[in-house]
């Protein structure tokens, strides 16, 4: 256990330093959600998306999850490059904990995400977002859970494929439907019955709903309960899959 | 008790175009302090064998022990007691040399201060002191190779696996590396299993040579025993001897994998 913690800290430090050296990587991730905020947000301000509240409280949770979704799903790219450099095998011949090789990386991704999320929320506040602090903090927690789970799965997938060309299409095939079917951009309440039904099959939908509740200051709702359950279950699944892949020799 | 011992070690890769028997039952052993040369044409299965012995690849057959630890039941012990320098290295071009050496020490669970001191020491031993603060990507090919070797020596392993350690080194660095390997053996009793395509290297450095071909051991013995037996006399060149054993030139055309 002691070894797992210090190994994780070591791996986290290695990749965090890499990220800190690349201002570009740190800011680039926020660019897309920021553009949505700037050019898409104003279209919604007049729409009655949330009775008694502002549209920003609906839009911003979606943008945060979008940031988490795309940032984390593509996290695995970096390990494909490292695999080709021989860095992964060089680390795997040392006694370092296999789980730490995964956790150190995903925690770096989560830390990077949180930094970007704070930037995004500050920008949103400047544009007119008003939401309870507790709700905003709960929102960060949900997105951090999503980032942890997705980057775990992304690294697991990346370790199994040989080339970026195999990795990219799979990730796209997962992220695009996730974004569309979870109501990230606009609430699924606007959707016709069949689409709403379909979106309930998408785990991300429950996180989106729960986060919007949080931003509206509603903490004791069914949506919040489902969101918490789905996020926890998804994280558990991701950790199990990730650990198995990282433990296996020759992966 | 031998420090490396394998019995029927085998690995078959399952590929889209059928199974590839890269290693087909290798028996070998190395005593403490022995420098064992692992020779064989391209594709013979040398790297695959080393990757199995370092726990990177699960064998599909056979057993092995390294430094007293069973490969299958105690991979963690094998990792702690052996070092591996891969054929193509394994450092990140964007990270400074010192940081890579430090991280490697920490991966082998050395305390911080010790890891830092070890990094300096290794840099000194391998002539890298002047480039410690450069990114790995800014090293020359030979400096890169020496860094790869330093990384494998970090924890003073009992058993050292070197996959073509001298490829890309100039003659001076090559002689230095031979010296280093001999010193590791003399001072620390390190057992070394190294692959090479340079026959003069095997001749000069290795106590014993194992020639593998198409995934099995084709011949083994001291360089003079091999010359006598396969080359016809003690004066036979190792080149002719190698040709006689494998039926073709060393490091010749890339042999097609044996597909069944
Ligand atoms: N992951 C893999 N999948 C399928 N085949 C593989 C794999 N790795 C190695 N092989 C095949 O196994 C055989 C042995 O490869 P190996 O790398 O062990 O050879 P080698 O003796 O190290 O050769 P060289 O001298 O060129 O380094 C080759 O035919 C190679 O193509
Ligand atoms: Mg090889």
Domains identified in chain B and CATH numbers: 4-209 (3.40.50.300)
B111 three-state secondary structure: coil
Residue B57 at interface with chain A, using a CB cutoff of 8 Å: yes
Q: What was the ipTM of the complex prediction?
A: 0.89
Quick check: A11 and A101 in contact, CB under 8 A? yes
Q: Where are the beta strands (DSSP E) in B104-173?
A: 159-163
The CA angle A245-A248-A249, to the nearest 5 degrees, is: 135
Model pLDDT, residue B260: 45
Question: What residues in A contact B80, CB-CB < 8 Å?
Answer: 95
Lowest mean pLDDT of A92-101, A189-198, B62-71, B150-159, name the range: A189-198
Write down the pLDDT at residue A236.
96
| B43 alpha carbon – ligand 1 mean position (Å) | 5
Contact B88 A18 (CB under 8 A): no
C-alpha distances in Å from residue B79, one per residue of A8, B27, B154, B193 = 18, 21, 12, 15
CA B173/CA B163 separation, integer angstroms = 16
- Which among B57, B88, B107 has CB closest to A94? B107
pLDDT at residue number B248: 63
- Who among A10, A89, A90 is closest to B106 (CB)? A10
Nearest to A108, CA basis, from A204, A180, A212, A12: A12
- Which chain B residue lies closest to A3 (C-alpha atoms)? B109
Cα of B245 to nearest chain A Cα, Å: 31
**Residues B136 and B97: beta-carbon distance below 8 Å:** yes
For the record, the structure tokens of B121 come out as: 């020491």
Q: What is the pTM of this model?
A: 0.90
| Residue-wise DSSP of A3-61 | HHHHHHHHHHHHHHHHHHH-HHHHHHHHHHHHHHHHHTHHHHTTS-SSTTS-THHHHHH
User: Whose alpha carbon is nearest atom 7 of ligand 1?
Assistant: B13
Cβ of B15 below 6 Å from ligand 1: yes
Give the tens place of pLDDT for each residue, A226-245: 999 999 999 999 999 999 99
CB-based contact (8 Å) between A10 and chain B?
yes
pLDDT by position in tens, chain A (length 251)? 788 999 999 999 999 999 888 888 777 777 877 887 888 888 777 777 777 778 889 889 999 999 899 989 999 999 999 999 999 999 999 999 999 999 999 999 999 999 899 989 999 999 889 999 999 999 999 999 999 999 999 999 999 988 889 999 999 999 988 988 888 887 887 788 888 888 888 899 999 999 999 999 999 999 999 999 999 999 999 999 999 999 885 54
Q: Say how many Å lie between the CA of residue B44 and the centre of ligand 1.
A: 7
Residue A38 touches chain B, beta carbons under 8 Å: no
- Identify the DSSP state of B71: T
Beta strands across the sheet bearing B35-39 = B82-85, B159-163, B191-195, B35-39, B208-213, B216-221
- pLDDT higher at A138 or B226: A138
Asked if residue B246 has its Cβ within 6 Å of ligand 1, the reply is no
Q: What is the pLDDT of residue A251?
A: 43
DSSP H helix total and E strand total for chain B: 9, 10
Is A83 part of the contact surface with chain B (CB cutoff 8 Å)?
Answer: no
| Mean pLDDT of the residues in chain B | 90
Please list the residues that pair with B194 across neighbouring strands: B37, B162
Residue B25 pLDDT exceeds 70:
yes
How far does the centroid of ligand 1 lie from the alpha carbon of residue A189, in Å? 56
Q: In what order do the strands lie in the sheet with B4-15?
A: B18-30, B4-15, B61-66, B69-70
Q: Which of B51, B99, B151 sits opposite A90 (nearest CB)?
A: B151
Q: Tell me: the pLDDT tens digits for B120-140?
A: 999 999 999 999 999 999 999
């Amino acid at each position: 256990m002691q070894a797992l913690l210090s190994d994780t800290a070591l791996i986290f430090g290695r990749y965090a330093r890499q990220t800190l050296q690349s201002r570009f990587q740190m800011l680039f991730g926020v660019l897309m959600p920021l553009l949505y905020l700037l050019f898409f947000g104003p279209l919604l301000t007049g729409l009655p998306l949330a009775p008694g509240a502002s549209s920003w409280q609906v839009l911003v949770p979606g943008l945060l999850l979008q940031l988490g979704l795309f940032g984390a799903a593509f996290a695995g790219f970096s390990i494909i490059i490292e695999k080709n450099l021989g860095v992964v095998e060089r680390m795997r011949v040392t006694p370092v904990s296999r789980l730490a090789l995964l956790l150190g990386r995903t925690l770096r991704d989560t830390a990077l995400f949180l930094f970007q999320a704070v930037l995004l929320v500050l920008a949103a506040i400047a544009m007119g977002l008003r939401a309870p602090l507790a709700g905003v903090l709960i929102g960060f927690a949900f997105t951090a859970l999503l980032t942890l789970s997705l980057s775990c799965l992304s690294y697991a997938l990346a370790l199994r494929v040989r080339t970026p060309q195999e990795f990219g299409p799979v990730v796209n095939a997962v992220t695009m439907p996730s974004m569309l079917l979870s109501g990230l951009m606009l609430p699924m309440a606007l959707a016709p019955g069949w689409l709403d039904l379909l979106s309930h099959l998408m785990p991300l939908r429950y996180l989106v709903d729960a986060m919007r509740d949080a931003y509206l200051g509603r903490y004791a709702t069914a949506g919040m309960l489902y969101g918490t359950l789905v996020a926890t279950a998804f994280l558990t699944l991701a950790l199990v899959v990730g650990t198995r892949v990282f433990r296996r020799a020759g992966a | 008790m031998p420090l490396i011992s394998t019995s029927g070690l085998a690995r078959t890769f399952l590929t889209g175009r059928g199974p590839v028997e890269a290693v087909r039952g290798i028996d070998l052993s190395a005593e403490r302090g022995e420098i064992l040369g692992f020779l064989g044409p391209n594709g013979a299965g040398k790297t695959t064998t080393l990757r199995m012995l370092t726990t990177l690849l699960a064998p599909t057959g056979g057993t092995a022990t390294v430094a007293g630890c069973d490969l299958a039941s105690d991979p963690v012990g094998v990792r702690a007691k052996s070092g591996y320098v891969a054929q193509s290295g394994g450092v990140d071009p964007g990270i400074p040399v010192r940081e890579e050496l430090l991280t490697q020490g920490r991966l082998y669970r050395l305390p911080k201060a010790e890891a830092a001191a070890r990094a300096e020491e290794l840099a000194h031993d391998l002539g890298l002191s002047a480039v410690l603060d450069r990114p790995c990507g800014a090293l020359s090919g030979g400096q890169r190779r020496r860094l790869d070797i330093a990384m494998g020596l970090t924890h003073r392993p009992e058993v050292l696996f070197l996959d073509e350690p001298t490829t890309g080194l100039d003659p001076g660095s090559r002689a230095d590396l031979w010296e280093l390997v001999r010193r590791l053996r003399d001072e620390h009793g390190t057992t070394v299993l190294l692959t090479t395509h340079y026959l003069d290297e095997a001749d000069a450095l290795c106590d014993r040579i194992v020639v593998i071909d198409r995934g099995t051991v084709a011949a083994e013995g001291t360089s003079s025993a091999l010359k006598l037996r396969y080359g016809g006399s003690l004066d036979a060149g190792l080149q002719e001897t190698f040709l006689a054993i494998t039926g073709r030139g060393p490091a010749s055309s890339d042999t097609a994998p044996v597909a069944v």
